[in-house]
Structure 1
Amino acid sequence: MKIALVGIGKIAVDQHVPVIAGSSDWDLAATVSRHGAVEGVEAFTDMGAMLEARSDIRVVSLCLPPVPRFDYAMQTLKAGRHVMLEKPPGATIAECHALEAAAREAGLSIYATWHSRHADMVAAAKVWLAEKVLRSLTVTWKEDVRRWHPGQAWIWEPGGLGVFDPGINALSIVTEILPDDIHVTHAELDVPENCQTPIGARIAFHHPKGAQVSAVFDWRQEGDQTWEIEAVTEAGTLKLSDGGAVMEVDGTRTGDAAPLGGEYPRLYDRMAQLVSKGGIDMDLRPMTLVTDALAIGRRHAVAAFFEGPQ
């Protein structure tokens, strides 16, 4: 199937473009971007112009920041094309519901992707936890924003999510592997004095069966990056590390994939399945947890953030 990629930034260049190129399901037929392009692929700077010129393109993958994504997605659906959404699927829960409703009405597929759910050992962790009594679950997600989001000023603006941009990856795993839904009960948010979104967060969750569930997110990590989830049960302890690429159960390690390894190919495999069957996949639980943390979180002003030396 011919697919268009909209928003040629870091994540598109690092993940989407090579994955599409290596897939037997997809042909990258066009891009839309104000600043980026892919060599050998027809490039547009206007979404409407692409949709009008390329009626042969059935699917559009949106890699834009979350705030402008709704308008592009709705324009795509109105043009009768299927939509794939980078995470998070939008800037608000309500607009995501509106997109799903529009897709259903038009008989089109829409997919809110959560790439970390497709890390190598997430499915195995879900199976292992399914019949266990959970006592506690802790998330530690710490990385260097300068390394992973260079020049992306939008993440510090309203709707950009700040540290929840990577933190939502952890929550997409948690909501996938836990057999019971959780919700936010308390949050402490560190917000740089020159930013609108947090650079650090500490969150507590309610678990319906009494387990202690918490998360720590931080974008100020230097050196080794930390993407870990530890679940303590009555039958042992499970630990996911490297963003879900590695699993340990009571010290026995399984998995040798690199972080992000295989995640995006599985997203595009899933999108191909949805389009072939006319399906919709719009799980908004990770985004709900983030928006609730932002809604009830107590904000603490911290030092201003600057990407380069001042």
Structure 2
Amino acid sequence: MILDAIQPNLAMFIRPLRLVSSGWTGHVPFGSWLVAVQQPRILVELGSHFGMSYAAFCQTVQNESLNTKCYAVDTWQGDEHAGFYGDSVYNDLAAFNDKHFAAFSRLMRMTFDEATTYFEDGSVDLLHIDGLHTYEAVKHDFDSWLPKLSDRAIVLFHDTNVRERDFGVWQFWAEITKQYPSFEFDHSAGLGMLAVGPNQPAEVRKLFDLTKEQVGTNAVKEVFSSLGESTLRRWELESTRQELTSKASDVERVLAQLANVDEELRTLQKEHLRAAGLLEQYDHTVKETHARNEALSNELARNEALRSSELSRNEALTSKLARSETARSAVENSLSWRITKPLRAVRSIFKG
């Protein structure tokens, strides 16, 4: 059935070089198939953000060796639907683009309206509109770029199947498909393909004709939805791999930190043992000092006892001497002592 609907090509089995978080990931196989079939001379994307869709377009141009000039237009500041972000998103995509697609791809950091002045009327073959998703913004982007579209132009609209948060792509899609041939995928938030130029490749015309035949339409949708699901799984696996790699790095970092902690613990243990030795030495010194102090205290006590005994003896002798002196004074002052004084004098003469 798929062979009756469209002609498969190798591009639809693309293995994206760039896998990032994006609502467009599920449409990468179809986008690659379309670029390979249409072979646009100039491809412009309005709103690239992380660059999932743009990188897939460029990779197909490179793989198919197409003579295509690719341009991604974005302020890389964000909006109310994509969220607001800093320069890191642009810098990352610019580095990737310079590394892989610098020969034919340019990032144009400006508004969509400003970028229109850099393209001639009737020059753009493939236009991807994926900027601010309000009805007014999408209509303005389409109308302002319509003069730039060639007679073989195709316009892609992302998020045609989102009806929330003031998304209005589905409303504009319902209006514009009344004027041009179209084909819409429902998966991954929806993707609409609009044939603005009348001169389309046979394979693309066959796809638009499928809208009249439900079985073929469902078959094509199922094929690209399945391929898109496979790409999503690849992104999930890559994200898991990166997460595991990051966790492995975290584990290695933790192990390194634990090794440092272990080394610090060994150092602390050595210091603890050294401190314990010093404490033991100090304790021994204290005990020796205490023993010496105790010996000195005992010696001082003995000396004090001897001094007290000596003082007691001195006090006794002093008391005895005082009594003797008192007795002598008493004798000398007595009457008999005075009467016998001449006799003691004569005795001393004879003794001499």
With structure 1 as the length reference, what TM-score do the two structures score? 0.33
Structure with more helix by fraction: 2
Give TM-score, length-normalised by structure 2.
0.29
Determine which structure has greater relative contact order: mean sequence separation of CA pairs < 8 Å that are 6+ residues apart, divided by chain length: 1
Larger relative strand fraction: 1
